Structure 1
Amino acid sequence: MALTKEQSASLVSKFGANENDTGNTKVQIALFTARIEQLSAHIQSFPKDKSAKRSLAKVIGQRKKLLKYLQSINLEAYRALIKELGLRK
């Protein structure tokens, strides 16, 4: 259920400065977004899985905090990231 190494490596290389830049805010938001998509699909299949619902809420909160931080320090990067990830409509 977790992201594979290949998936996380591709996200890190796409959103980070290099392939080892895992601490970058943009990379973390992209990884959380991928995890949210996986958990959402899992909950669609297994609606009674309460621990998955709790995990989903926790990851959404973490992503929300990072998005708020990114918005406060670099508004243009925030707008570009949400557009690329398709978070807002």
Structure 2
Amino acid sequence: MSITSEKKNELINEYCIAKNDTGSSFIQCAILSERISNLTDHFKIHKKDYHSKRGLLILIGRRRRHLNYVKHKHGDEEYKKLIKRLGIRK
């Protein structure tokens, strides 16, 4: 359900803006999207895991707030590029 450090470093390298960027909203959205997809796969097997479902909803809300920040701070173009790269609809 959690992501490995190798996968996290891979996402950081893929979505970084600057050389030493490790915590921008772009990276945070990518990491949260990976965790959300892992939990979604978990729920295909464990349909009645309601406690983890609450955690999933928290992660989705956190990603939504990061995406809103990107939209207001960096503009609609960067927002749409990020959503397309992450494979999120909207």
Q: Same fold (TM over 0.5)?
A: yes
1:59 partner letter: L
Identity, % of aligned pairs? 39
Partner residue of 2:89? 88
Alignment length (residue pairs): 88
Alpha-carbon offset, residue 61 of structure 1? 0.3
Q: TM-score if structure 1 supplies the norm length?
A: 0.92
C-alpha distance in 1 between matches for 2:72 and 2:41: 31
User: For residues 12-23 of structure 1, what are the structure 2 equivalents within 5 Å?
Assistant: 12-16=12-16, 17-18=18-19, 20-23=20-23
Cα deviation 1:45-83 (Å, max 9, x = unaligned): 101111110110000000001111111111221111101
Partner residue of 1:43? 43
Unaligned segments of structure 2, at least 5 residues: none
Q: Could you say which structure has the greater relative contact order, defined with CA pairs below 8 angstroms and 6 or more residues apart?
A: 2
Partner residue of 2:55? 55
Structure 1 consecutive aligned stretches of length 4 or more whose deviation exceeds 2 Å: none
Alpha-carbon offset, residue 44 of structure 1? 1.0
Q: TM-score if structure 2 supplies the norm length?
A: 0.91
Question: Aligned-residue CA RMSD in angstroms?
Answer: 1.2
